[in-house]
Amino acid sequence: MSFSELKARQSVMWGNGPYERITNTIRDIHTLIVERADPKPGEKLLDAATGTGAVALLAAERGAEVIGMDLAPVLVETAQERGAESGSSARFEVGDAEAMTYDDASFDVVTSTCGVMFAPDHEAVARELARVTRPGGRIALANWTPEGGLGQLFAMMRPFLPTPPAGVGVPFDWGREDHLRDLLGDAFELEFEEHDSPLELDSGEAYWELFSTSYGPTKSAVEALEPERREEFHETWVAFGEQYREAAGIVHHREWLLTLGTRR
Ligand SMILES: C[S@@+](CC[C@H](N)C(=O)[O-])C[C@H]1O[C@@H](n2cnc3c(N)ncnc32)[C@H](O)[C@@H]1O
């Protein structure tokens, strides 16, 4: 399968939602990304791989001129609806972070929250981030770390997911400082911060219910499995979630790396 076929599938998979239920569990990350990116009134900000637009909407509230872009048309539609409901000035469009349609140096700020890390060609994304950010402009990226909770969740899910084609970048490499220095260090002055976004739920069963009905990669995998294998996936997930039981429920710590960059 070529990368373009893979991305065509991913654009459907990520839209197999309702993704809003998942993105609501990382509001803390959205808030911190916008705080650290610090868009000023009138600055042009791109939120790449915006999903249903959470960061774009917050940035527009600060008076920035915002575009939210995502590969999944269904998520872009939801972002547009959310923007219209709240009277936001943010614009949303379908696009590919590996091949953006924007002019060179057209943004003061570029953000991405657990977003561009899922594009297969890391070098292409890095080239595009550098190309569209103006000299002196900023990037702020949130990426899950490989050892953290989301890395562990994907390791648990892997036997139940389709095997990715050869050569596809590992998403969680975007949570490693050395990988980011390789990808972005020539074009940006970089700084890193480590953070945690704990997910609190009643039980492993509640964790399964949330992701198997609302998280595109999990929901799509569940739909493709035979009933017996689906039940194995279910049982594996519940046991995974129950490892994180504390008195009142489960608390899954999800560590992530904040990358801040200034374009040289
Ligand atoms: C985990 S979601 C994060 C969405 C959003 N940033 C948030 O904070 O909720 C990953 C997003 O990356 C998008 N995505 C994956 N590959 C992409 C690509 N090549 N170009 C643009 N968006 C992409 C998906 O469609 C999905 O919306």
The bridge status of strand 255-263 relative to strand 133-144 is: antiparallel
pLDDT at residue 181, as a whole number: 98
Q: Does residue 229 contact residue 113 with C-beta atoms inside 8 Å?
A: no
Residue 2: the pLDDT is: 84
The answer as to whether 84 is a domain residue is: yes
Cα–Cα distance measured from residue 221 to residue 129, given in angstroms and rounded to the nearest whole number: 30
Give pLDDT, residue 3. 83
Task: Give the C-alpha distances (Å, rounded to integers) separating 170 from 37, 173, 175, 176, 254.
Answer: 25, 6, 10, 11, 18
Q: Which residues contact 218 (CB under 8 A, 6 or more apart)?
A: 157, 211, 212
Q: Pocket of ligand 1, candidates 10, 14, 210: which has the most ligand atoms within 8 Å of its Cβ, to mutate?
A: 14
Ligand 1 center to residue 50 CA distance, Å? 6
Identify whether 242 is part of a domain.
no
Residue 234 lies in a domain: no
> Confidence band (pLDDT; 50, 70, 90) for 17?
confident
CA of residue 9 to ligand 1 center, whole Å:
13
pLDDT of residue 247 exceeding 90: no
Query: Quick check: 131 and 243 in contact, CB under 8 A?
Result: no
Report phi then psi at 27, rounded to 5. -60, -35
For residue 11, being part of any structural domain is answered with yes
139 lines ligand 1 (CB under 6 A): no
DSSP string for 202-263: S-HHHHHHHHHHH-HHHHHHHHHS-HHHHHHHHHHHHHHHHTTEETTEEEE--EEEEEEEEE
Q: Domain of 27?
A: 3-199+254-263
Instruction: Please state the domain count of the chain.
Output: 1
| Residue 30 forms part of a structural domain | yes
CATH of the domain at 8: 3.40.50.150
Is residue 239 included in any domain, yes or no?
no
| Separation CA 236–CA 230 (nearest Å) | 10
**Whether residue 158 has pLDDT greater than 90:** yes
The answer to whether the CB of 111 is under 6 A from ligand 1 is: no
Supply the pLDDT for residue 92. 98
Phi/psi of residue 170, nearest 5 degrees: -80, 120
* Contact predicate 69/48, CB 8 Å: yes
Pick the atom of ligand 1 nearest to 29's CA.
8
Residue 214 near ligand 1, beta carbon < 6 Å: no
Q: Judge whether 42 lies within some domain.
A: yes
Q: What is the largest CA-CA distance in the chain?
A: 55
In a domain, 220, yes or no: no
Tell me the residue type at 9.
Answer: R
Secondary structure of residue 109 in the 3-state scheme? strand
**Which of ligand 1's atoms lies nearest the C-alpha of 112?**
6
Mean pLDDT, residues 53-82 taken together = 98
DSSP string spanning 76-102? HHHHHHHHHHHT---EEEE--TTS--S
Instruction: Return the percentage of the chain with pLDDT > 70, whole number.
Output: 100
**Ligand 1 and 150: CB distance under 6 A:** no
Residues contacting residue 186 through CB under 8 Å, at least 6 positions apart: 264
Is 128 near ligand 1, meaning CB less than 6 Å away?
no
Query: Which pTM does this prediction carry?
Result: 0.97
Does residue 142's CB lie within 6 angstroms of at least one atom of ligand 1? no
